[in-house]
Copies of this chain bind each other. A is one copy, B any other.
């Protein structure tokens, strides 16, 4: 059965804004590298440099039918990101007309497990668009799917109000209950990386820094000084 949920409680904007500068790979690490949170690598930005962050409005379409996105746009609020299960097939679920409408409604971007079209216009508008592919293939408007229920997108479960973050590395989903503690973990990791870079600049290797040479003492590892000694 189709279920259309018009509204849900968004996480506080203050929590979302704290994630704005953080990279997807950093957030993924800080969430414990849980793959339940990371979309498949083939969900990627339409242009290099596109990024987005915001609470997910989830949309489950029938294959080749984008009616449900039209419905979701009408219920979305400023700051939201549309997260669409387009069932991974090359039907162009989103284009410049819908993006124009979305911009006027304050929607911050869209993620489609499937295709988008009017790619030239979407790039010119710089509307943050993450998708599996570009395809002109037309869609119909016949079957209502679901809005704001738990959906699959890019190989992960997304719930309404989960915060999605996208950049050149792809898309990570931050579950609502992990949101509060995350910014501190991100800052800690970024600080650690900055410190390591200073050491690397002085010629320290990551092998020394992390004592990875201990692994070379394992009996199952044969260490040879030169290829001629093999």
Question: Looking at chain A, what size class is its interface with the partner chain?
Answer: 35 or more
Q: Is the CB of B157 within 8 A of A151?
A: yes
Mark contacts of A1-18 with chain B using CB atoms, 8 A cut-off: 1 yes-contact digit, 0 otherwise.
111111111000000000
Q: Which of A82-136 contact B (CB under 8 A)?
A: 85, 87-92, 95, 97-98, 100-101, 104-105, 115, 117-120, 123, 133-136
Min CB distance A225 to B, Å, is 5
Residues of A participating in the B interface, judged by any CB pair closer than 8 Å: 1-9, 23-25, 28-29, 32-36, 38, 40-42, 44, 48-49, 60, 62-64, 67, 70-71, 73-74, 85, 87-92, 95, 97-98, 100-101, 104-105, 115, 117-120, 123, 133-138, 140-142, 144-146, 148, 150-152, 155-157, 159-161, 167-170, 172, 177-178, 193, 196-197, 200-201, 203, 205-208, 210, 212-213, 215-216, 218, 220-228, 230
